[in-house]
Chains A and B, each alone.
Chain A
Amino acid sequence: MSRVDLKVDLNGLTLKNPVTVASGTFGFGREFTDYLDLNILGGIMVKGLTLEERKGNPTPRVSETPMGMINSVGLQNPGVEYFVKEELPFLKQFDTKVIVNINGNTIEEYCKIAEILSKTSVDSMELNISCPNVKRGGVSFGREPEMVYEVTNKVRQYCDKHLIVKLSPNVKDIKEIAIAAEKGGADCISLINTVIGMAIDIENQTTVLARGMGGLSGPAIKPIAVRMVYEAANSVSIPVIGMGGIMNYRDAIEFFLAGANAISIGTANLINPWVAREVIDGIKEYIKTKGYGSIKEIIGKVRIPSL
């Protein structure tokens, strides 16, 4: 049987296979070496970083929901400088792409981080625009196309690496947001981030999470994610990394068919830390069984029966 070509080019970033792990669900990779050979991954999106260390939110920070979980970690992270010194050398030992998720409360903060990381060996930056914009009264940067364009465009001037913009699903029209990111200079987009949710403890009549609301992830959001990836992929010409509720290779294939060039596994890592291996093997098998030679042949292949 012929070999299956899993390589994908994300507009300047080549992944040996299209399977990455999502920011915030894989730490800085260290915890996973007991379960998984990190060399098999297409890429690792590390925990979201900010300029300064962040302590994060009080607990409870998690609530399980039907086929999902709501988290409010609050971007707890040791800061970008610490990452570069203490975590990056570890990650660079592996034959995989290191993609750094960057976060800020102001455009200046985003730019500063991009500038710092441009001087390091990271392979790509993933701009998380779900953060609150303090200058606009805490509304997320990712909410309005104008703000998405502005932050992407500014960061682009400081980022000498491959740049991914990660879209929030908590928006009116994902197509406009995707287009704004492309126009702003993104090399690639990734989506979706978590869907804002809330859970209430009816005994105590309080929210389950100390902070009230949080981000819903897991299989519960998969249909929303697939739809948004489909819409975004059909609106822009840059590549798309799809994510949201991927638990196995079948879920991953849905995203490729919807138009994703690569995928990212999030919550599933928290349940089966070796799941990425199973997804990679499953994708390979699917491609073979369907008689294709490469992953590229199925990207965006979905047909809508009535159209």
Chain B
Amino acid sequence: MNKNYICKIVHNTEITAGIHKIVIEKPKDLGKVKAGQFFNLKSGEEEYPLLRRPISVSIIDDETLTFLINKVGKGTMLLCSKNKGEYIDILGPLGNGFNLDIEKNNVLVVGGGMGVAPLLELVKQLSLKDDIDIKVMLGYSDIPFMVEDFKEFVDDLIVASEKKEFDYKGYVTEPLKQELQNKKYDHIFACGPKPMLKVVKNLGEENDIPVQLLMEERMACGMGACLVCTCKVKKGEDDWNYVRTCKEGPVFYGEEVIFDE
């Protein structure tokens, strides 16, 4: 019944400037956690900061859960300043997670910036399927991170960076367009900044490929109670609706989502 746990930190390292990898002990009675689900983490010790912070699970192991956290404000700073041996109060798993029940197996996984974090567990799980062909495309604004982690599960991987010369210089959506012209894919999974997701959605539609997008929205409860985290989705032929990113999402099919300008 309970979904709240106080977990011991077993590992905390800064993997690249400003980004920490935090590994916590997995509670014994935690139910199944799916790739694409998230936890709502308390960042302070007492009541400040007030709200929890939603963070995707990046790797799920038998004994541990791994989060990748980018220090962007007070909450994430506090989380990253916690030491090994200290505890974090977590709520979850929350949200729907990716749908891995896909029929055909030519799969493209596209990540941008911090959006690569939740894709690692996804790629791990996809790589366990039979007859699967996975290509991973990771985009960064500057120095890439977590690339080696992905290489543990896939060989076919390209890295794009806006600043540095890796496989491609510029937005990851450019080599993505190229790739979709070269090969027929059956499914795309993506997580990253909204403008990137919008391009991926459109490319999916143009090429008639189902796309699963992991969306971010500002949240409070993370569990479907307050309605602050809505995502605009299609409803029937010509109507739309706001649904909860934390409950009906955070993973949506590209064809459902309406991106407003």
Contacts and interface: CB of A to CB of B under 8 A. Distances in A.
A67 B48 contact: yes
A71 B50 contact: no
A90 interface: no
Interface string A28-60: 001111110000000000010000000110111
Contacts of A142: none
Contact of B47 (A59, A67, A269, A270): A67
Contacts of A272: 4
B225 interface: yes
B218 interface: yes
B260 A58 contact: yes
Interface in B1-39: 1-4
Given A32-B225, A270-B220, A59 B51 contact: no
B187 interface: no
A297 to B, nearest CB: 29
Contact of B229 (A24, A35, A59, A271): A59
A270 B230 contact: no
B228 interface: yes
A64 B230 contact: no
Given A61-B218, A62-B219, A273-B225, A69 B51 contact: yes
Contacts of B86: none
Given A64-B50, A219-B47, A31 B223 contact: yes
Contacts of B219: 62
Given A25-B225, A55-B241, A274-B4, A60 B218 contact: yes
Nearest to B245: A59
B50 A76 contact: no
A273 B224 CA distance: 11
Q: A-side binding surface: helix, strand, loop or mixed?
A: loop
Contacts of B91: 273
Q: B-side binding surface: helix, strand, loop or mixed?
A: loop
A26 B225 contact: yes
A270 B52 CA distance: 9
B223 A273 contact: yes
Given A69-B220, A219-B47, 4 more contacts: A27-B227, A35-B4, A76-B242, A270-B220
A218 interface: yes
Contacts of B221: 25, 31, 269-271, 273
A247 B242 contact: no
Given A60-B218, A62-B220, A218-B50, A270 B226 contact: yes
B50 A219 contact: yes
Most chain A Cβ neighbours within 10 Å, of B221, B231, B232: B221
Contact of B51 (A25, A56, A64): A64
B49 interface: yes
Interface string A110-139: 000000000000000000000000000000
B217 interface: yes
A71 B220 contact: yes
A158 B120 CA distance: 58
A253 B220 CA distance: 26
Most chain B Cβ neighbours within 10 Å, of A63, A76, A274: A76
A288 B149 CA distance: 57
B225 A71 contact: no
Contacts of A26: 225
A71 B226 contact: yes
Contacts of A218: 50
Interface of B: 1-4, 42, 47-52, 91, 217-221, 223-232, 241-242, 247, 260
29 contacts: A25-B221, A26-B225, A31-B224, A34-B1, A34-B3, A34-B223, A35-B1, A35-B2, A35-B3, A35-B4, A56-B227, A56-B230, A59-B228, A62-B219, A62-B228, A66-B48, A67-B48, A69-B50, A73-B227, A76-B230, A76-B242, A219-B50, A247-B47, A269-B225, A270-B221, A270-B226, A271-B51, A271-B52, A271-B221
Interface in A142-172: none
A59 B217 contact: yes
A103 interface: no
Contacts of A271: 42, 50-52, 221
Contacts of B228: 59, 61-62, 71, 73
Contacts of A96: none
Most chain B Cβ neighbours within 10 Å, of A25, A58, A62, A63: A62
Interface string A261-281: 000000101111110000000
Contact of A270 (B2, B42, B225, B231): B225
A27 B225 contact: yes
A25 B218 contact: no
Interface in A1-33: 24-27, 30-33
Contact of A76 (B220, B227, B247): B227
Given A31-B223, A31-B224, A267 B242 contact: no
B11 to A, nearest CB: 26
Nearest to A56: B242
Interface in A211-255: 218-219, 247
A73 B227 CA distance: 6
B89 to A, nearest CB: 9
A33 B224 CA distance: 12
